[in-house]
Amino acid sequence: MVILTLTTDFGLSDGYVGAVRGAIVAHASGDIRLLDNTHQIPPQDVLAGACAVLQIARTFPDDTVHLCIVDPGVGSTRAGLVVRAWEQWFVAPDSGILHFILDLPDARVWRLHEPEATATEATTFAGRDWFARAAARLATGSPVDAIADAYTIDECARLNIPQPVFHEHRWVGQVLHTDRYGNIISTLPPPPAEARDTARVFVGEYLFGPIRAAYSEVGHNKPVATIGSLDTVEAALNGAAAARRFGVRRGQTFEILFPEPVAPPQWPPWQRLTGKSRPA
């Protein structure tokens, strides 16, 4: 059965997610399987949404349709997008939420047809009245050309995520996301295996030590660095919330120092992957 995932900033306290689910099943022309990613993206936080979309695109099967809605420009003239990448589909407003997906080497993009008229007078719920319908149709057999026109990646909204700087003895990236556990997720790829023991990870003035295989290699509450779920370097406290403890926020500098010179890595680390070779 075709799978449709949902990533939104609708929250879980109102009826908005339910209304979108209803619109999807009402407009699907066959069975469709709805699986949530998250609805707790902070309101209008497009970058957090982009990270959550990247996270799940790594694991879902081919031809999954990902409906991704963080849409500060709802009701304006911003476009609706359909993207094909990693053998999956993505339907979203052109808000930047597909930033990482548009970076993938096999990404192709279309512009959604404008929404059809509905019986509602509401103008603020494009998730329900436009994107849900388009995603349901795409998932249940509509060819992409029936719901969208040709478009180019250059026309799409992008986020400003600085490329890290890779010196021989020092990689300088930034904090991409802090998660539920208070773990600090960076933009830096894993250094070569032989350089991890002697590497030293810093977030601002705080030292998190070398790159280890498990949080539990250090004592409870002690700083530790690992390779996290996006295949980037993370800083954490074993069993505690590092981001809160140290007041770390997205965009702060995140560095790795190396005593021996290290060759520059490919960046972003997920970009080399295509289709079936995605990692997990």
Q: Enumerate residues 70-129 that contact a copy of itself by CB under 8 A.
A: 72-76, 118-125, 128-129
CB atoms within 10 A of CB 206: 15
Could you tell me how many residues make up the chain?
280
Smallest distance from a copy of itself to CB 267, Å: 14
Q: With CA atoms as reference, report the closest residue to 42 among 15, 7, 75.
A: 7
C-alpha span between 37 and 101 (Å, rounded): 16
Of the residues 2, 4, 39, 80, which one makes contact with a copy of itself according to CB under 8 A: 39
Q: Does 157 bind a copy of itself (CB under 8 A)?
A: no
Residues 6+ apart with CB under 8 A from 196: 190, 210, 211, 212
Of the residues 52, 109, 138, 218, which one makes contact with a copy of itself according to CB under 8 A: 52
Smallest distance from a copy of itself to CB 51, Å: 7
Smallest distance from a copy of itself to CB 150, Å: 26
163-182 footprint of a copy of itself as x/- string (CB under 8 A)? --------------x-xxxx
- The Cα-based distances of 118 to 8, 122, 123, 139, 217 in angstroms read 22, 9, 10, 21, 57
Of the residues 160, 194, 205, 213, which one makes contact with a copy of itself according to CB under 8 A: 213
Smallest distance from a copy of itself to CB 146, Å: 21
